[in-house]
Structure 1
């Protein structure tokens, strides 16, 4: 079983240094959780430097026992972005400092969901600072009971920090993790929050504590889902459907994801930015699942506004 101890922040002279150091420790902790759960795979590290200051540690696991390709990336970078990039990313000042951990896991089995998690902290040159993050699940085949359990874990964490967080951030995730050209959500959602400004949306310690809780609930819940689903049998047809769904995942990350845009606009390491892409994916012209099939049933769950906490889940 993965270790239960979770990193706690050690105060540094500057708050941003405290956050950066915790992000490093969180990357270490999460990699250990995933390696222990996977049983066979080990992360390899690629340390890199950013051209304008700072750098990061990209950690990639391939050919694991459960995980076919997974990444847990840490970065802490600073510099001055172009005026066009600053406008596009709504930066109040082109000077910036950014630190965070970004995670995507692509399991081997179509019975194990793809997962994503991100926690981040920004400071603009004018002193404005904010947190962001989120986590979501992309099952190849939706298991309704597991989807409800996943959302309950998140809702409990949100309620412990701010009663309104889950409803607000769940709706935000539904809007964000959406492919408008497909008119479908990427998966069953989770929570997403951006630009939670220090002072406006909460004091820095409260917002930082919530971000840490998001990291902890991701590691705990996703490792449990890996254990529950890793040994379930699957067919070649189900594996082919996984490749189609991976294609949808790639479409979102290349066409819509803000983190991808930020990394490319600020001259980040391309290999690390694109680690979220699956090792294999397929696209088929006008592929429509047969009515009544498990694939068609999964498609029915890929919509905004589903109340996953109700029993049974219901559309809004």
Structure 2
């Protein structure tokens, strides 16, 4: 059985790799690291990059925490046990350019002692990558989804369609009746079965994590030198407001971090540095903004 310590160490390595790649991509800004400890057990490495050539604000965080689950989380997880261990890498990047998308990634592992007498812990993997363009560029959307499908297909041909639909459903802003972006893949409580082993699921988790940097770098470099107007940047700030709304109202990771006494700055690093809420905004018919809104819906087949 793969130990939780091995999983945590491999996730730390992926954090190191991604930070190095993002610094090279930006070309100017460097990550600042803060080590922290959690009251109740565990801690992590928060790494933040700010005010770069293209990366206005971003975080690449690692955590490995343990302790007792609050009653609210136990109820949400439908478990009776108290003790838990959770580790993962969480990333959100906000660029300074309206033609370059926001991106989010999370890979994680959760474990609890078994509630039955078989000696096996209750455990699962979760994670995903999704893209939130301020302006949906269809060629980039197809490229992004093809990269995710390729990594999924290496491990199980059914992963991509299943996890793509899951992402469409999860990253949906119900009160706006629109998706947060163009989706990607999302999964939770992925466990071993007769068809797939724990080792395969762990290798998939790591491979997905290592898809992040090359896929995002390609999309950034396609768009980072395009000219843009103040009006397009205002639209970027409005789309950021939708991102903030989702993370504060619906995001399960934000809720879990807050309810398990996580580090507030690390949890809320996903929020954009600047956002705007325009009252009763309506995009002009036929505009690029209207075209983007038309593509913020579930079920679009990008590959």
TM-score (normalised: structure 2): 0.96
Could you say which residue in structure 2 is the equivalent of 1:5? Answer: none
What is the Cα deviation at residue 85 of structure 1?
A: 2.2
Q: Which runs of 5+ in 1 are unaligned?
A: 1-12, 310-316
The alpha-carbon distance between structure 1 residues 208 and 48, as it changes in their structure 2 partners (threshold 3 A), is: same
TM-score (normalised: structure 1): 0.92
For 1:27 and 1:21, how far apart are their aligned partners in 2?
A: 10
Q: How much is the aligned-residue C-alpha RMSD, in angstroms?
A: 1.3
Q: Deviations over 1:185-211 (max 9, x none)?
A: 000000000000234773210100100
- Structure 1: 4+ residue segments shifted above 4 A: none
What is the Cα deviation at residue 219 of structure 1?
A: 1.4
Could you say which residue in structure 2 is the equivalent of 1:23? Answer: 11
- Corresponding residue pairs, total: 297
Which structure has the higher relative contact order (CA within 8 Å, separation 6+)? 2
1:243 and 2:254 matched: no
What is the Cα deviation at residue 220 of structure 1?
A: 1.1
Match of 1:74 among 55, 62, 65: 62
Q: Deviations over 1:111-169 (max 9, x none)?
A: 10000000000001221110000000000001101100111111111111000000000
Deviates more, 1:225-234 or 1:188-197: 225-234
Tell me, yes or no, if the aligned pair for 2:74 and 2:80 is still in contact at 8 Å: yes
Q: Which runs of 5+ in 2 are unaligned?
A: 115-120
For 1:162 and 1:14, how far apart are their aligned partners in 2?
A: 20
Aligned 1:182-201 pairs, distance under 5 A: 182-199=176-193
Could you say which residue in structure 2 is the equivalent of 1:48? Answer: 36
Q: Deviations over 1:206-256 (max 9, x none)?
A: 100100111111111001111111111100000000000000000000000
The alpha-carbon distance between structure 1 residues 14 and 155, as it changes in their structure 2 partners (threshold 3 A), is: closer
Could you say which residue in structure 1 is the equivalent of 2:225? Answer: 231
What is the Cα deviation at residue 94 of structure 1?
A: 2.3
Tell me, yes or no, if the aligned pair for 2:11 and 2:206 is still in contact at 8 Å: no
